[in-house]
């Protein structure tokens, strides 16, 4: 069958469906095979598309046998050798006999099956492309637009005509988004579902801050500065340990930016979540002391590398700051640096006879 119109429209269909030419060809092929099977009551058909000649070739396929059997290849309809030889005198048992047919002769039910399989294949390819697109953003940050607000979630437009939900439990306490607002979210997981891919997003995930740091601080994206440890009470406070791989670059200064410009943008993106930056160190005592900032640490003692535990001594007037409200500062310090930290004031240490 010659069909110049079909080949001329391939690019238009591919663009409309956001598919490749190969995917459109494959969907059309699967549709023709389904129609052929229905029209000719066979189990197998073959399609060949010759774009250079604008030609569409469709063939029925039969397995040639000397006698009909239920034990042979069930992928093919069977044809007795005697009947097959009437079509091709050189055919022999075990060969596949192909007969060219014209899709224009498809009846109502064959056309129905053709259209159904064609659309099914197009949609399947669209789903696969959509899944692969968002899978490439898994564990990354994306921009989304709020299109609906409910009591327990925000509905977000994440592009490619796909929406997802940001549960309020995955949002930050101070998030107060309205329809039309743009928001940055972290893609925590992408799953293929029956209908369309499902993209799971979060604003409370610790890695959202890392992606924001990479976005606003070129030195982190380029690997000059590394994020070594991070802990977070989403929406309230985060503690981040950074180190520089270039002695000329101050990791804290680079992250804060001139006049606090960089860190200010990150805090704004997190609905005013406070961020404590501390300098990472390979020296355990320095690391622990830095992690407890903004509290001043007099000494770090009783360091046990095996159990990764230590005791920090702080001035009396710094004890509450070192521990933090409801123990938040020490908790975040422990999570960020990976050490178990006990804290005592100087008076407490002296009273217990602790030398430091």
- Among candidate residues 114, 134, 154, the one where a domain is terminated: 134
Residues 102 and 14 in one domain: yes
What Å distances lie between residue 121 and 129, 144, 274, CA to CA?
A: 12, 29, 49
pLDDT tens sequence across 304-346:
999 999 999 999 999 999 999 999 999 999 999 999 999 999 9
Residues 47 and 130 in one domain: yes
Are 354 and 325 in contact by the 8 Å Cβ rule? The answer is: no
- The CATH number given to whatever domain includes residue 70 is 3.30.1480
What's the rounded Cα separation, in Å, for the pair 243 and 256? 13
- Among candidate residues 86, 104, 134, the one where a domain is terminated: 134
Burial grade of 136 (CB within 10 A; 0-12, 13-18, 19 or more): exposed
Q: Give, as one character, the DSSP assignment of residue 55.
A: E
Looking at residue 27, what is its pLDDT? 96
pLDDT tens sequence across 130-151:
999 999 999 999 999 999 999 9
> Which residue segment(s) compose the domain that 93 sits in?
4-134
Residues 61 and 117 in one domain: yes
What's the rounded Cα separation, in Å, for the pair 141 and 186? 4
Q: What pLDDT tens digit does each residue of the chain (356 aa) get?
A: 777 788 888 989 999 999 999 999 999 999 999 999 999 999 999 999 998 888 999 999 999 999 988 888 889 999 999 999 999 999 999 999 999 999 999 999 999 999 999 999 999 999 999 999 999 999 999 999 999 999 999 999 999 999 999 999 999 999 999 999 999 999 999 999 988 999 999 999 999 999 999 999 999 999 999 999 999 999 999 999 999 999 999 999 999 999 999 999 999 999 999 999 999 999 999 999 999 999 999 999 999 999 999 999 999 999 999 999 999 999 999 999 999 999 999 999 999 988 88
């Amino acid at each position: 069958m010659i069909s110049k119109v079909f080949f001329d429209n391939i690019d238009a269909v591919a663009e409309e469906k956001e598919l490749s030419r190969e995917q459109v060809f494959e969907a059309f092929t699967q549709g023709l095979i389904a129609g052929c099977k229905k029209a000719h009551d066979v189990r197998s058909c073959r399609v060949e598309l010759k774009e250079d000649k604008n030609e569409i070739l469709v063939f029925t396929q039969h397995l040639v046998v000397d006698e009909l059997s239920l034990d042979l290849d069930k992928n093919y309809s069977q044809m007795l050798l005697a009947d097959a030889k009437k079509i091709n005198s050189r055919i022999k048992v075990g060969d596949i006999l192909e007969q060219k047919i014209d899709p224009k002769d498809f009846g109502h039910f064959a056309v129905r099956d053709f259209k159904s399989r064609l659309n099914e294949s197009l949609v399947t390819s669209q789903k696969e492309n959509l899944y692969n697109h968002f899978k490439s953003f898994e564990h990354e940050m994306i921009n989304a637009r709020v299109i609906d607000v409910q009591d327990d979630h925000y509905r977000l437009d994440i592009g490619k005509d796909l929406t997802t939900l940001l549960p309020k439990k995955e949002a930050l306490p101070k998030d107060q988004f309205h329809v039309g607002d743009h928001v940055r979210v972290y893609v925590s997981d992408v799953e293929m579902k029956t209908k369309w891919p499902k993209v799971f997003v979060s604003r409370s995930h610790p890695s959202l801050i890392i992606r924001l740091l990479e976005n606003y601080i070129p030195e982190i994206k380029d690997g000059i500065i590394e994020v070594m440890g991070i802990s977070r009470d989403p929406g309230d406070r985060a503690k981040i340990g950074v180190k520089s791989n270039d002695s000329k670059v101050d990791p804290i200064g680079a992250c804060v930016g001139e006049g606090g410009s960089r860190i200010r943008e990150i805090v704004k993106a997190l609905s005013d979540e406070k961020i404590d930056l501390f300098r990472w160190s390979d020296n355990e005592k320095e690391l622990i002391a830095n992690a407890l900032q903004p509290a001043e640490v007099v000494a770090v003692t009783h360091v046990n590398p095996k159990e990764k535990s230590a005791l920090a001594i702080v001035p009396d007037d710094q004890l509450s700051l070192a521990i933090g409200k409801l123990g938040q500062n020490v908790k975040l310090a422990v999570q960020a640096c990976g050490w178990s930290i006990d804290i005592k004031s100087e008076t407490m240490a002296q009273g217990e006879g602790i030398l430091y």
